[in-house]
Amino acid sequence: MAIIVLARELAALGDETAKELSSMLPNYHYINKEEIEETLQERGITEKMIDRYGEKKPGFFDVFSSAQNQFLHHLKTVLYEKTESGNCILVGQGAPVLLKDVPGVVTFRLICSEEVRIQRIMKRFNCDERRAQLMMTHTDNDRVGFNRYFFDVGWRDPVNYDFIINTERLNAVQTANIIATILPQLVDEEQEIECRKSITNLITGQKILTKALYEEKLPIYFLEVLYDGKTVTLNGVTNAPSCIEAASNIAKEISGCGEVHSNIYIASDLPITHEV
């Protein structure tokens, strides 16, 4: 039960490599962008929100909107639920960060020189060099901004990945072969078991957060739910003391455990709203 995560520059063969991997590894499911976006829309995330926030840097006024928090919450939920059964391949979508500490997850960043990327973009989109350069720069800036804004990480920082692969001299089949060869050396049976547990715990945390914020609409700001399989820890800020008990009861109900630690603090000067 390994999870392969690819981060990619435009025209560094990310999607192509993922497709080849799914063919080489018949038990692995390629969770593509279309599948993720379709599931997000089923959960109430509009196409407009996906276009605005999906692997893009939000605009200046988005900091004042609750829509970005809603998008990120549902993106996390979808990624966790899609990967729960393991043996899957993900490309981008914040997966390298959201699954970073999960055992059995192996992350690869695919890069390539700008010169080769531009040539590939020109061929793929049948455009001139100037247009290809603009597309490359725009996409890179979006992905840098997305990762910095939502996760406070450097998209290009190599320490955020297990392996960096330069695809300049490789095609998608060769790149996939490298990944498929490395994978068995990194993930053993014990990690597979821990992977399933970790993903299940993450899903439980998201269920608690979903009910607290989006069903019960508790006015808790910056709510974070951590579940380790035994204990739930709640972090956040509220202006309504009754919300602390309500959130704890929700956590007990969904997790099935009686031990809930609340680090939700009370700040009386917060605005009265459920948009968190």
**What digits encode the pLDDT tens for the residues 215-225?**
999 999 999 99
Helix, strand, or coil here: 26? Answer: coil
Q: Which pTM does this prediction carry?
A: 0.93
Averaged pLDDT score across all residues of the chain:
94
Query: What is the torsional sign of CA 125, 128, 132, 134?
Result: negative
Q: Is the pLDDT of residue 271 over 80?
A: no
Which amino acid, one-letter code, is at 233?
Answer: T
The residue assigned the tokens 């520059």 is 9
Tell me whether residue 107 is exposed, middle or buried, using C-beta atoms within 10 angstroms of its C-beta: 0 to 12, 13 to 18, 19 or more: buried
At 1, the pLDDT band (50, 70, 90 cuts) reads: low
What is the Cβ-side half-sphere exposure of residue 132, based on CA atoms within 13 angstroms?
17
pLDDT at 136: 98
Q: What is the mean pLDDT of residues 150-164?
A: 97
- Please state, in angstroms and rounded to a whole number, the distance separating the CA atoms of residues 72 and 97: 12
At 60, the pLDDT band (50, 70, 90 cuts) reads: confident
**What digits encode the pLDDT tens for the residues 61-96?**
777 678 999 999 999 999 999 999 999 999 999 999
- Kindly state the percentage of the chain with pLDDT values over 90: 89
- Please state, in angstroms and rounded to a whole number, the distance separating the CA atoms of residues 257 and 242: 21
